[in-house]
Structure 1
């Protein structure tokens, strides 16, 4: 597979993964606000299905990114910063899984306002990663 195809697939899976990272916490906002059991059950189902769908997308994004890094010698100081942000993003993804399990078990202790702020974390990471990759400031 050529370098440009690898890069294209990496970008496709990163964009797809981020779509899930943007939407799942938004579902948490709605779930934290839901008062009736039917809405809570519907949101829990949506959260579970989305998380199950976005996890393989994350693995593929990470796999193609690793292939670019290790197979084609992509390097630079900007890459170290990007990889640090990717590690934060993986932790965020895993924490979303924990929050999902908490909702499913009826153990949510966070307000909808907290989830609104939590929802902005991947947006900030996306801004930083795109700037690092495009501008390569160091």
Structure 2
């Protein structure tokens, strides 16, 4: 019962984290297109609140709950699928921090990228989510 409770909370944390990972780059698209200071300031506030209030706590909860599940099931470490998944999670954490760095550049008014870049940048977590879910469900190796 404990394992299933931890797993359920882990899934909720993952969903919250990915909601932020999907939405923050979309805000970057609009921020990059903004032409007036009021809009740019509004986007900076929205981005900061999303990152600090939802994404960061959700990422931490996801990682802690995932580690707890691994502690409850140490045999998983023998599966190659888990190593591949953890590698993708590490890439996802890097993406998360890239979003944070970009957020700070926007806040300082130093963005040099176009909205088109952010439209493509926004697709990265989709690909990572697809790969991670396939690994978890199929456990191919």
TM-score, structure 1 length as denominator? 0.97
SS in 2 for 1:123: helix
What corresponds to 2:22 in structure 1?
22
What corresponds to 2:116 in structure 1?
113
Gaps of 5+ in 2: none
4+ runs deviating over 4 angstroms: none
Deviation at 1:71, TM superposition (A): 2.8
Deviation at 1:72, TM superposition (A): 1.8
Matching of residues 55-74 of structure 1 within 5 Å: 55-73=56-74, 74=76
Q: Which moved more, 1:113-122 or 1:73-82?
A: 73-82
Gaps of 5+ in 1: none
> Take 1:24 and 1:49, find their aligned partners in 2: how far apart are those partners?
10
SS in 2 for 1:67: helix
- Per-residue CA deviation, residues 46-95 of structure 1 (Å, 9 max, x unaligned), is 00000012101100000000111123213311000000000000000111
TM-score, structure 2 length as denominator? 0.95
Deviation at 1:102, TM superposition (A): 0.2
Task: Give aligned pairs, total.
Answer: 138
